[in-house]
Amino acid sequence: MTAPLIAPAIILSHPQMGENVGATARAMKNFGLSELHLIAPKFEWPNDRAQILASGAGDILERAQIHPDAATALGRFQLILATTARGRDVLRDILTPEAAAGRLRQAAGGGARTAILFGGERAGLDNDEISLCDALITIPTAPLPQVKDTEIKASSLNLGQAVLLLGYEWLKSADVTPASRTKRTPALPATRAELIGLFDHLETELDASGFFFPAIKREAMVRNLRAMILRSGLTDQQARTIRGMIVALVKNKYRGKA
């Protein structure tokens, strides 16, 4: 039996607010992530504000591991991706969230322990922390209007938001649900007898209304009409519905006349 994939751990470096750690735990719970590590948090731990914001994900906070530095926190993992709002002066692949999720899932499928490293709310990750990671993840964000001829970006996401987005991509990378679905009720195709009944019914009423004109073209028009109906692949219920429509139209064709 194939062992289940181990989801990536979430590692927060020097988080400054317990609320953001709680929001992170809640986001993790939404998308099947359960392993949380904190590097030198700037608040007391355990933290009441984190518990409040976790909203049902308190178990993740209770299992969270605290580490004094990045080297200690990252030591057990084989693949580590670091989130950053901008490129640094280091040679690293820069991945989209979707590509990052695919790379994490591929590595986990081979038995590797994986992790995503997030920087603190103010300063993000430093170059030393990034140097311990295999690649970077940059989340595309919309540009803000130009300010004093300098274009800046709203690239700094809330910590919980960033974890939510990466968690979503992780879960989505295993989803085989089609991008678009139409709910279909199993139905049998109409039998040839049902279709012939429809042909006879429709052609009789079209004859009565004078639709087949001139008469010399009636045979060709009938063949074309039948071919059109056959191509539509009607179910038995649809064939009955059309016959009901014909009855209703004929019954009420004189409606409104004196």
The pair of three-digit structure tokens given for residue 241, joined into one six-digit string: 């519905």
CATH class of the region 9-172: alpha beta
Q: Where are the domains of the chain?
A: 9-172, 192-251
Cβ neighbours of residue 37 under 8 Å, at least 6 residues apart? 9, 10, 11, 12, 64, 65, 66, 67, 73, 115
On whether the CB atoms of residues 129 and 88 are closer than 8 A, the answer is no
pTM tops 0.85, yes or no: no
Cα–chain-centroid distance for residue 172?
5
Low-confidence stretches of the chain (pLDDT < 50) are 149-154, 258
Quote the CA–CA distance of 75 and 63 in Å, as a whole number.
18
On whether the CB atoms of residues 65 and 37 are closer than 8 A, the answer is yes
Quote the CA–CA distance of 232 and 206 in Å, as a whole number.
20
Under DSSP, the state recorded for 150 is B
Any idea what the Cα angle at residue 243 is, between residues 241 and 248, rounded to 5°?
95
Sign of the torsion angle spanned by Cα atoms 220, 221, 227, 230 = negative
Where do the H-state alpha helices sit in the chain? 18-30, 48-54, 58-63, 70-74, 97-109, 127-130, 159-172, 192-209, 218-231, 236-251
Indicate the residue type of 23. Answer: A
User: For residue range 92-111, what is the model confidence (pLDDT) as tens digits?
Assistant: 789 999 999 999 999 999 88
